[in-house]
């Protein structure tokens, strides 16, 4: 009975985006207690998904911690996705804008502390690796930064389980030198793959906002499952 009650509670805390295809990819919405990763090339819609999930979380009555490492969070886009309620929704979003990887680490740690002590429904890290990739220096320093990235991911996974909240991270891609531009892979290596229990790839398909979402990793859905999506004025929509 306890296990069943926990499942029902987790189901109630899922964040539905309002796009059937995207919600099916995620697993009936963005799931609590885990890290979900969305990756894809520039302009594929990663930040649109992040803002859309933030808006839907606020609509459930819970606050959002949003860590924007690339300056992609837009008040205008927030207003569009929330259908003109941008100011109201923004009051429930705690926005952090680090400009170095060290600042990102500290802000993630601060966000975890806030989540431990307040009713937070969603933590967004958009993007997880942008500032890490900008860092220059010796190999040993890069190794140290990689370990720090792993630690903050572990911290996010821990607070997700403790507080029954969702964590969404976006990620960049690189093209495989062996297979060319058609073979893109997420940045960040094994750490991001290990800590992300659901991974969705976004692909650009033609013009007019057409996108394709693909399950790369999921706890109970098959890899390779696809959905046609489109980016509209209010975020991701069904075609």
Q: pLDDT tens digit string along 98-150? A: 999 999 999 999 999 999 999 999 999 999 988 887 765 545 455 657 788 99
Cα separation values, 51 from 72, 174, 218, Å: 10, 24, 22
Asked if 120 contacts 92 with a C-beta cutoff of 8 angstroms, the reply is no
CA distance 112 to 120: 10
Where does 2-237 sit in CATH, by number? 3.40.50.300
Name the residue ranges covered by the structural domains of the chain: 2-237
21-41 pLDDT per residue, tens: 999 999 999 999 999 999 999
């Amino acid at each position: 009975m306890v296990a069943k009650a926990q499942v029902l509670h987790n189901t109630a805390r899922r964040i539905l985006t309002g796009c059937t295809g995207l919600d099916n990819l995620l697993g009936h919405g963005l799931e609590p207690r885990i890290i979900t990763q969305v990756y894809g090339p520039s302009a594929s819609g990663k930040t649109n998904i992040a803002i859309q999930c933030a808006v839907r979380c606020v609509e459930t009555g819970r606050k959002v911690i949003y860590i924007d490492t690339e300056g992609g969070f837009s008040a205008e886009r927030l207003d569009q996705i929330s259908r003109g309620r941008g100011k109201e929704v923004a009051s429930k979003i705690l926005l952090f804008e680090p400009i170095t990887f060290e600042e990102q680490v500290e802000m993630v740690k601060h966000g975890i502390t806030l989540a431990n002590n307040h009713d937070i429904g969603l933590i967004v890290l958009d993007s997880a690796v942008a500032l890490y990739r900008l860092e220059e220096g010796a190999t040993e320093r890069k190794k140290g930064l990689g370990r720090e990235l792993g630690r903050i991911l572990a911290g996010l996974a821990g607070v997700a389980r403790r507080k029954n909240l969702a964590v969404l991270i976006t990620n960049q891609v690189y093209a495989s030198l062996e297979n060319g531009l058609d073979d893109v892979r997420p940045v960040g290596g094994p750490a991001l793959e290990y800590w992300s229990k659901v991974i969705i790839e976004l692909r650009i398909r033609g013009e007019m906002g057409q996108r394709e979402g693909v399950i790369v990793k999921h706890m109970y859905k098959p890899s390779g499952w696809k959905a046609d999506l489109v980016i509209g004025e209010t975020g991701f929509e069904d075609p």
